Amino acid sequence: MKLIYTFLILCCWLSGSVHAQRLSINDCWKFAKGNIDMSMLSQQAVWTNITLPHTWNGYDGQNGGDDYYRGTGWYMRALSFDKNDRGKCIYLRFGAANYLTEVYLNGVSIGTHSGGYTSFAFDITPFVRYDMSNQLLVKVSNVDGLPIPPLSADFTFFGGLIRGVELIKKNKLHITAEDYGSNGVYVRQDKVSDKEAMLSFTAKVRNTEKKAQKAVISFLIKERDGKVLKETKEEKMILPGTTMPITSTFRIDNPHLWNGKKDPYLYTAEVKVKVGSEIADNYTFPLGIRYYSIDPDRGFILNGHSYPLRGVSLHEERKNKGNAVSDTERKEDIDRIIAMGSNYIRLSHYQHGDFTYRYLDSLGIICWTETPVINKIKDTEEFAVNCENGLRSLIRQLYNHPSIVVWGVSNEINYRKGPNPVPLIERLNKLVHQEDPTRPSTLAAMFSERPTNLITDVYSNNRYDGWYYNTVEEIGTFADKLHQKYPQRCIGFSEYGAGAHPYQHQEGNGKPDIDGHWHPEGYQTYFHEGYLKAIQQRPYLWSTSVWAAYDFASDSRNEGNQPGINDKGLITHDRQIKKDAYYFYKVNWNPEPMVYICERRFTGRTQPETSVRLYSNCERVILKLNGEEIPLEKRENHIFVSGTIALKAGVNHVEALAYQGDKQLEDKVVWYYLSEN
586 and 659 part of one domain: no
- 297 domain-assigned: no
Given 266, 291, 316, the domain boundary residue is: 291
The CA distance from 5 to 7, in Å, is 6
Quote the CA–CA distance of 304 and 668 in Å, as a whole number: 44
User: 131 and 247 share a domain?
Assistant: no
Q: Is residue 135 part of a domain?
A: yes
* CATH code for the domain of 162: 2.60.120.260
**Same domain, residue pair 502 and 626:** no
What's the DSSP call for residue 512? P
What residues act catalytically? 412
Closest CA to 65 of 555, 559, 554: 555
Residue 356 and residue 480 share a domain: yes
Written as one string, the DSSP assignment of 230-298 is: EEEEEEEEEPTTEEEEEEEEEEEES---EEGGGEE--EEEEEEEEETTEEEEEEEEEEEEEEEEEETTT
Q: Are residues 370 and 504 in the same domain?
A: yes
Residue 301 covered by a domain: no
For 427, the enclosing helix (H) or strand (E) is helix 422-435
Same domain as 227, residue 99: no
Instruction: Choose among 75, 72, 91: nearest CA to 29.
Output: 75
Residue 14 has what pLDDT?
47
pLDDT in tens, 597-631: 999 999 999 999 999 999 999 999 999 999 999 99
Kind plus residue range of the DSSP H or E element containing 381: helix 381-398
Domain boundary among 590, 623, 643: 590
Give, as one character, the DSSP assignment of residue 371. Answer: -
| pLDDT score at 7 | 42
Residue 176 lies in a domain: no
Phi, psi values for residue 472, rounded to 5°: -60, -40
> Is residue 458 located within the same domain as residue 419?
yes
Is residue 623 domain-resident? yes
Please compute, for residue 299, the number of CA atoms within 13 A of its CA located in the half-sphere on the CB side: 18
Whole-Å CA distances, 441 to 109, 415, 435, 437: 36, 20, 11, 10
Specify the pLDDT at position 18.
55
Tell me, what CATH number does 215's domain have?
A: 2.60.40.10
Give me the sign of the Cα torsion angle 338, 340, 341, 347. Answer: negative
> pLDDT at position 415, please?
78
The pLDDT score that the predictor gives to residue 625 is 98
Whether 519 maps to a domain, the answer reads: yes
Q: Please tell me whether residues 229 and 260 are part of one structural domain.
A: yes
Q: Where a domain ends, among 246, 263, 291?
A: 291
Q: What is the pTM of this model?
A: 0.97
User: Do both 192 and 156 map to the same domain?
Assistant: no
Round to whole Å and give the CA distance between 659 and 613. 17
Total domains present in the chain: 4
On whether residue 175 sits in a domain, the answer given is no
- Which tens digit of pLDDT belongs to each residue from 406-447? 999 999 998 778 899 999 999 999 999 999 999 999 999 998
Low-confidence ranges of the chain (pLDDT < 50): 1-14
- Indicate if 159 and 196 belong to the same structural domain: no
> Residue 528 is part of which domain span?
308-590
**Same structural domain for residues 234 and 163?**
no
Residue 403 host element (H or E): none
> Is 579 a member of any domain?
yes
Within this chain, do residues 383 and 527 fall inside the same structural domain, yes or no?
A: yes
pLDDT of residue 472: 98
Local structure of residue 320 (DSSP, 8 states): T
Estimate the crossing angle of helix 474-485 against helix 521-536, to 10 degrees: 40
